[in-house]
Structure 1
Amino acid sequence: KSPAREDSPLNPFANIIGLKQAKQALIYAAAGNLPLLLYGPPGTGKTLLLSRVASLLPPLDSAAQQQISAMHGRPVEKRPVFSIPLGMRQADLAKGVVPELCKAHEGALIVDELSHQRPNIRTTLASVMDTHTFGGYPLRTLVVCATNACSCANLGSLEGICRCSEIQIDKFWSKLGHPLLDRFAMALALTSENLLVSEVNTTTIDYERIEYVRTMQMSRSEQEILSLLPLYTKVFRGSQQSFRRSYLCCKVARTIADFEGKESVTQAIMEKAQQLYLLPKDRHYH
């Protein structure tokens, strides 16, 4: 069992009951630097999980420390975490000699209440996830976001009643924008859990494995991921996904295989990767 790092709690998920799939998705996100979207009604643990992202990231090497310290204008020893609060404007992200948003470089970019963010903030987010740059500076960062699943916020709730029609739900997600949604590698629904029957056992976190897989992903070429497309096509024959969506699914599958110590991606792993990206229209709530 790998020892916990000094800059992390013994287990970031120690006091979070249930949410097993979401916890595992966060670990994959940290290991593969894969953008993740969590959605669901209030009280399901979205914001709580976002607060634990920084604890999953591996330590910085000396070269990254020097680069980040130069961008921040001060010594930086831990991976930075930058959150975009509600009401922040595009100009706020770009202010400074080195843009404020670039403080998330080599760390994590956290965006809660994604549906309530300004449209140009969401547009910027999509651009960053695509280019890994902002304002002429590098911005390689783990993007993790959270949002409600409908306008009334009750979709997926065991307590509240969602009265949104299918058209209203589609309109809500259209507001978030297909270009942004298409750039998330994983999208998971969090629903209210019965705490009396939820799994109490904590999720084991292997920090050394996260760091190893992260290094592996950085060394893998785009061609290696593209080579998985025939398997993706075979497994999901007839699915109408964009090329980006197919590519990201292959990237998630490769991350899972590396995390599990598998040399090749199997059909079961590809199917598992696909199940980590399901929007409301795929879940048939109504």
Structure 2
Amino acid sequence: MVLGRTLAVALVGLTGHVVDVEAHLAPALPAFTLVGLPDAALAESRDRVRAAVTSTGLAWPNRRITVNLSPATLPKSGSGFDLAIAVAALAGAEVVPPERVQDVVHLGELGLDGRLRPVRGVLPAVAAAVAAGRPRLVVPAGNVAEARLVPGAEVRGARTLAEVLSWHGADLEVPDTEPVRPEAPPVAVPPHALDLADVVGQQEARACLEVAAAGGHHLLMVGPPGTGKTMLASRLPGLLPDLADAQAVEVTAIHSIAGTFDPGDGLVRRPPFEDPHHTATAASVIGGGSGVPRPGAASRAHRGILFLDEAPEFATSVLQTLRQPLEHGELVLHRAHGAARYPARFQLVLAANPCPCGKAVGKGLDCTCRPEQRRRYFGRLSGPLLDRVDLQVELQPSRATDECGDATHVVAARVAAARAAQAERFAGLPWRTCAEAPASWLRDRLGADRAMRALLDGAVDRGTLSLRGADRVLRVAWTIADLDGRDAPNAGDIGSAIAMRTLGHA
């Protein structure tokens, strides 16, 4: 009776847990049992591991093998445990010295031919192992670039199971095999490459877009087709500054789990841009799946933009699920075996037509929609959702004589200056933009000018603003002051913020 041990990492959301992989070999009828709350993909590793070992040229131990993944109460999913299970079983069979593998973290999926295949989520898994004091790791060759992004990690990349066993002291021939490369994410035109100078006219919408970029505010644009709503939204990422180091690691970890990360480009430094189609399900937008849920578009847009074009066409269930991340900046996905938490602090940008036919402009003389159709159409954007949107602007058709405004790099410079002012103001505090700051903190720093408070209180008393809306107006006013280079907002900034919130149909 021999026991082999090694280590792996289980991911629940973005949180990694170091797992002890124990293989117990007993002199009994041959069997292979896997325990410790494995999901279906992990349970199938028994067949992959057995085939990979025999393809390597080794005899499979003719014993009763029980593999335990400890802690046994933690749900475990995916094929990334294959390598650790194989190494633990062969250590128990004394193919490799057990003491040489017990402190090494092994990550990777095994092919039936013994090759190591890349897996998702290597970056957060390696970060969790290093944080737990387990810096020595073996990963598939296709994941080496991603794993080495974590400071302090001692990473070795392997192409085959035979190569790993040889490193650990096994006496066997290592074949010369091409490594399995990770699947490349789809190539798309980066949103920050688009220029704001392409948008003709729409000065009010451009002003709202600049304020949204400077303060991290949510934005609703209402207007007929062809007025530039999608063009403006797709150019918003180009106005945003690069992500800070901590933010870049967090965003990269999410995209690593989602399988949309290209390690050849290093950490994700640009704010992401997600624009799901209006037929997207709630699971694809907020995350889901059987077992441990995967991140959806809302989490992939963390520290970036989530753009919902034709927003009233989205299912009501999808729109309502966005209320939690808009308030708390994270998504908690509950399943039978536990809950997964994914950060989701994104800027929500909504674009909508004024009515189903899209022609309700001005007096709406060309509109063919009945009044109840208009109400029903725009009513799909619920009051509680719109109350969380800071800026609401109505776009009118542009004219051929309208001029183009400033280019992206000019507006981005103003946004960067406003963000720098906010970083200085919030130094040492847990928030970085006006949209994240508590309204009570901002209200205490308004000064002795009662006129500003009177503007907000009057709007609340008239029913123009809710209390939540007043707080959001206050945040926007501080952003406007930052763009104008002032230390604090004045009454004019409060009035502008109220106007920017009440321009739309909502």
**Structure 2-normalised TM-score?**
0.50
* In structure 1, distance between residues paired with 2:346 and 2:220: 14
Structure-1 separation of matches of 2:301 and 2:350 = 14
Secondary structure of the corresponding residue to residue 317 of structure 2: helix
Alpha-carbon separation, structure 2, partners of 1:38 and 1:17:
16
Tell me which residue corresponds to 1:116: 313
Matched residues in 2 for 1:193 and 1:159: separation?
16
Tell me the alpha carbon deviations over residues 145-170 of structure 1, each in whole angstroms, 9 at most, x when there is no partner: 10111222112269971244555433
How far is the alpha carbon of 1:242 from its aligned partner?
1.0
Query: Which residue of 1 is the match for residue 331 of structure 2?
Result: 134
Name the residue aligned to 2:302. 105
Question: Is the CA contact (8 Å cut-off) linking 1:158 and 1:191 kept in structure 2?
Answer: no
User: Aligned with 2:495: secondary structure?
Assistant: helix
Asked whether the 8 Å contact 2:392–2:504 carries over to 1, the reply is no
Match of 1:200 in 2: 404
Distance 1:127 1:234, change over 3 A: closer
> What's 1:3 paired with?
none
Sequence identity, in percent? 26
Aligned positions of 1:84-233 closer than 5 A: 84-93=276-285, 94-95=287-288, 97-101=293-297, 102-135=299-332, 136-156=341-361, 161-164=366-369, 166-196=371-401, 198-202=402-406, 204-205=410-411, 206=413, 207-213=415-421, 215=423, 216=425, 218-219=431-432, 220-227=437-444, 230-233=453-456
Root mean square deviation, CA, Å? 2.7
Kept in 1, the 8 Å contact 2:283–2:296? The answer is: no
For residues 146 and 108 of structure 1, do their structure 2 counterparts lie closer, same or farther at Cα, with a shift above 3 Å needed? same
Number of residues of Structure 1 aligned to a counterpart in Structure 2: 275
CA contact (8 A) 2:240 2:416 kept: no
Q: Does 1:263 align with 2:487?
A: yes
Q: Deviations over 1:30-53 (max 9, x none)?
A: 111100000110010011111111
Instruction: State the Cα deviation string for residues 173-224 of structure 1 (Å, max 9, x = none).
Output: 322111111110000001102122x233435412432432553573544323
Going from structure 1 to structure 2, the CA distance change for 1:169 and 1:278 (only over 3 Å counts) comes to farther
The structure with more helix, counted as a fraction of residues: 1
Q: 1:42 — aligned with what?
A: 225
SS in 1 for 2:389: coil
- In 2, are the aligned partners of 1:99 and 1:134 still within 8 Å (CA)? no
Equivalent of 1:29 in 188, 207, 212: 212
What does residue 4 of structure 1 align with? none
Asked if 1:79 corresponds to 2:258, the answer is no
AA aligned opposite 2:495: E
Residue pair 1:232, 1:250 contacting (<8 A) in 2 also? no
Structure 2: 5+ residue stretches without partners: 1-190, 262-266, 333-340, 447-451
Q: 2:218 touches 2:390 (CA, 8 Å); kept in 1?
A: yes
The aligned amino acid for 1:100 is G
CA distance in 2, matches of 1:14, 1:51: 13
Show structure 1 runs of 5+ residues with no match.
Answer: 1-6
Assess, with a 3 A threshold, how the Cα gap between structure 1 residues 263 and 88 changes in structure 2: closer, same or farther.
Answer: same
Q: Which has the larger radius of gyration?
A: 2
TM-score (norm 1): 0.85
